[in-house]
Amino acid sequence: MADLSVNIAGVRFKNPVVTASGTFGFGREFSQVYDLSKLGGIACKGITLKPRDGNPPPRIAETPSGILNSVGLQNPGVDWFVKHEVPWLKKYDTVIIANVAGNEIADYCEVVERLNESQVDMIELNISCPNVKQGGVAFGTSAKAAGEITKAVRNVCKKPLAVKLSPNVANIGDIAAAVESEGADAVSLINTITGMRIDINTRRPILTNNTGGLSGPAVFPIAVRMVYEVSRRVTIPVIGMGGIATWQDAVEIMLAGACLVQVGTANFTDPYAPLKIIEGIEQYLDQNVISSVTEIVGKVQIYE
Ligand code: SIN
């Protein structure tokens, strides 16, 4: 049987499949469906310093082959997360990734300092949420801003640090290179792509936030292209996500350069999707006589 394990910055994932932030809560609902210990890891819903109610509804709109969301980082705040969610998640033998968001650099740093004392295994710095008026993607759309926040957080962060990048930029490679040079241990991409829907009868946007982030299979080819570009710009590990719904998608984005994948929107249509993806990757490796999943990372054969 092929070795599915992956190591990122000293953190061992038993397999390369992690559930993506914002699509899996803190795992409680999905734990009623299957054993969370089967997952490589869980990236929790974005956590901020104070609890947030998020944006007013409607904040989800279906699109062909995807969804638009404008949740607005609804979450119970870091103190609740550390006290109630992390100890509960620790019952499971899986990697816990805390996704961290904020309005200002100081907020991000404060959240990370509180997480330093918790049992989370890795931090995913969210500089790519398109649905908040302050912070979020504002830090992720220029190499300078992305570098500055990474530097500040790196100074206080005692855990392995991944930075989650936005696709809403002209050159994602530049942003990835900036966060690498300021000490990120990994990059994860892509977060959602800003989109909009309008109700033709009311002539009002469907989302109260007017715009939202597009995810799901519609964005998958963009994710593959960006993972490919970023993996050629940086030497740190690349975590790939964006519309992964099948094991074939997972293998494809790994060939592009991802050493780990996150499964997001697929959880809404098939809660078992991550488990099917793990099983499919294992069968693919065995059928192709590949002994370790790490052997396929970045192995796309590009036309010159
Ligand atoms: C949200 O809560 O609005 C989505 C989070 C994100 O896109 O990072």
Question: Between helices 172-181 and 220-231, what is the axis angle to 10°?
Answer: 50
295 CA distance to ligand 1 centroid (A)? 32
Tokens of 267: 């959880």
Going by alpha carbons, the residue nearest to atom 8 of ligand 1 is 129
pLDDT confidence of residue 134: 85
pLDDT confidence of residue 46: 98
Residue type, 4: L
Backbone angles phi, psi at 67, to 5 degrees: -140, 155
pLDDT confidence of residue 135: 84
Atom of ligand 1 nearest to the CA of 70: 3
- Is 157 labeled as catalytic in the residue annotation? no
Question: If you average pLDDT over residues 254-275, what whole number do you get?
Answer: 98
Question: If you average pLDDT over residues 155-168, what whole number do you get?
Answer: 98
Q: What is the pLDDT of residues 35-44, one digit of tens each?
A: 999 999 999 9
3-state SS class at 52: strand
- pLDDT bin (cut points 50, 70, 90) of residue 45 is very high
Going by alpha carbons, the residue nearest to atom 2 of ligand 1 is 73
pLDDT confidence of residue 218: 98
Site to probe by mutation for ligand 1, drawn from 129, 133, 214 as the one with most ligand atoms within 8 Å of Cβ, is: 129
The continuous run of DSSP H or E covering 80 comes out as helix 78-80
Round the average pLDDT of the chain to a whole number and report it. 97
100 CA distance to ligand 1 centroid (A)? 11
What are the start-end ranges of the H helices in 157-272? 172-181, 220-231, 247-256, 266-269
Q: Choosing from 44, 129, 157, 259, which is the catalytic residue?
A: 129
Q: What is the pLDDT of residues 183-227, one digit of tens each?
A: 999 999 999 999 999 999 999 999 999 999 999 999 999 999 999
DSSP string across 144-157: HHHHHHHHHHHHH-
CA 180 and chain centroid, separation:
17
What is the C-alpha to C-alpha distance for residues 274 and 276, in angstroms, rounded to an integer?
6
22 CA distance to ligand 1 centroid (A)? 7
Atom of ligand 1 nearest to the CA of 59: 3
- Reference 182, options 155, 160, 142; nearest CA is 155
CATH entry, 6-51+73-194+213-296, from 3.90.25.10, 1.10.3720.10, 3.40.50.1100, 3.20.20.70: 3.20.20.70
Tokens of 231: 């993996």
3-state SS class at 110: helix
> Ligand 1: residues within 6 Å at CB?
22, 46, 69-73, 126, 128-129, 131, 191-192, 213
